[in-house]
Amino acid sequence: MAKVLIPIATGFEEIEAVSIIDVLRRGGIEVIIAGIDSESNNNLIKGANNIVIETNLDIKNILNISSFDMIVLPGGWGGTTILSQNIQVQNLIKEFDVTKKLIGAICAAPFALSKAGVLKDNLKFTCYPSVEEQIPNSSTRYIDNFKVIQSENIITSRGPGTAICFGLYIVSILISNEVKNSLKKGLLADFCD
């Protein structure tokens, strides 16, 4: 079974996190939600719009990435800022990149990839409009008219309105196009092409 790590921090974008987690689980992917400092909050993390998510564990407990196929970072500027400053998260992103495992980021979260040094100058990406201004050398790499972009092992998406499409794309990569198409039909997500 494919397995994805989703780190979340206070101020994460709820639509993105919940949509991605839901679509991946519907697709048969095991999702582990790891909170930043969630142990001090009884494994609860509050999003940008005061919706609370219960995490599976604290990010400090992820000691080995070998069982994971991918890491996916939801956006939300508050959560992204924490992800970009948290040493554990930054080291995990680098480890996923060094081992050529898949790395996903949506909305503001490509900023955290940039901080980790994995959004290299030769990679195309998308993100929430205006976030690209915070990412060095983005003028020739940022693409604003696609819902999801994959460049090597990095998969990025634009924001809340593209979260289902992002999740479906990940399902197509980790499971199959057949499962993705079945989910797409059931979710009435014809807008995800």
Q: Which residues are catalytic?
A: 107
- Considering only CA atoms, which of 95, 44, 47 is closest in space to residue 71? 95
Q: Which residues contact 132 (CB under 8 A, 6 or more apart)?
A: 110, 125, 138, 142, 144
- Estimate the crossing angle of helix 163-174 against helix 177-186, to 10 degrees: 150
Q: Answer left, alpha or beta for residue 76, where phi above 0 means left and psi between -120 and 50 means alpha.
A: left
Q: Please give the C-alpha separations between residue 186 and each of 32, 161, 168, 176, in angstroms, as whole numbers.
A: 24, 18, 12, 16
